[in-house]
Amino acid sequence: MIKDSEYRELTNLVYQHFGIALGHEKRTMVTHRLQTWVGEQGFSTFQDYLSYLKQDNQGSALMSLANRLTTNYSYFYRESEQLEFFFKKALPQKNAQSIGPGNSTLNIWSAGCASGEEPYCLAMLLNEYFGNSFVQWDMGILATDLDTVILQEAHKGVYREDRLNRLPPTYRLKYLKPDKKGYWAVDDSLKRLVHFTRYNLIRDQFSFKNKFYAIFCRNVMIYFDQQTINALVERFYHVLENEGYLIIGQTESLDKNKTKLTYVAPSIYQKRV
């Protein structure tokens, strides 16, 4: 069993390093995910494991802990209302302002991309939207997550059928190939557009060469407290282009008194300078 004081120590570490707020209600889940695993790692008590975590100069023990505790559930075409807004209202504005062949850039960030369904879905919708004019754009999707194990899955781009249930069948047939075991593999044309990398939204610096026209950070901030969300959104603000969008999960919302972003539709905010 994890003692009260040990649970407090662990949750403080998780909060400091990953911004994830694990309240008392998460104790059963945390115990379930860690108890046997900590034993398998060779620690005879939970206190020994905590001491090891606290001396983790390389960050690898903390990384394994993050991999163990994060909730990575995702699927293709999730929260389609936001996708509709982005591709029918936001992107046409950007397209209309583009400065011509060879000079138009479009950078999108899928922050907290889990197993990759979100960025691959964005890649196929971009391909559909731009059609033949796709080649005139310098376009890229940065897809990041804290969890290194899930990022390996994302890289592979192979999905069970149930992750594709919401995706219109025409897109599934055009952009994914079935194998004999009932899995579907993402086409290389989508993979070329997506760059996966590990990124801790709480601790890592936001030092990007280019600003983003859109940041999709959906169903990630749900694990953070209000203070952490406010600080993160402020940092997102600085890496967004003027008129760019922050799109969050449908069950998430921003404190309108604390953000410089303008609310435009449910879960959709715009930078207007």
Ligand X SMILES: C[S@@+](CC[C@H](N)C(=O)[O-])C[C@H]1O[C@@H](n2cnc3c(N)ncnc32)[C@H](O)[C@@H]1O
Binding site for ligand X (CB under 6 A): 18-20, 70-74, 78, 112-114, 118, 145-147, 150, 199-202, 218-220, 223, 249
> How far apart, in whole angstroms, are the C-alpha atoms of residue 215 and residue 79?
15
Of 73 and 263, the one with the shorter C-beta distance to ligand X is: 73
We find the least distance from the C-beta atom of residue 75 to ligand X, in angstroms, to be 7
Of 137 and 214, the one with the shorter C-beta distance to ligand X is: 214
Q: Which pair of structure tokens corresponds to residue 6?
A: 């040990």
Q: What angle do CA 149, 32, 224 make, to 5 degrees?
A: 65
We find the least distance from the C-beta atom of residue 141 to ligand X, in angstroms, to be 12
Of 50 and 113, the one with the shorter C-beta distance to ligand X is: 113
Of 202 and 265, the one with the shorter C-beta distance to ligand X is: 202
DSSP letter at 76 equals T
C-alpha radius of gyration, the chain, whole number: 20
> How far apart, in whole angstroms, are the C-alpha atoms of residue 206 and residue 209?
10
3-state secondary structure of 137: strand
We find the least distance from the C-beta atom of residue 78 to ligand X, in angstroms, to be 5
Which H helix or E strand runs over 104?
Answer: strand 104-111
We find the least distance from the C-beta atom of residue 112 to ligand X, in angstroms, to be 3
> How far apart, in whole angstroms, are the C-alpha atoms of residue 85 and residue 229?
23
Residues 160, 77 contacting (CB under 8 angstroms)? no
Of 43 and 171, the one with the shorter C-beta distance to ligand X is: 171
We find the least distance from the C-beta atom of residue 236 to ligand X, in angstroms, to be 12
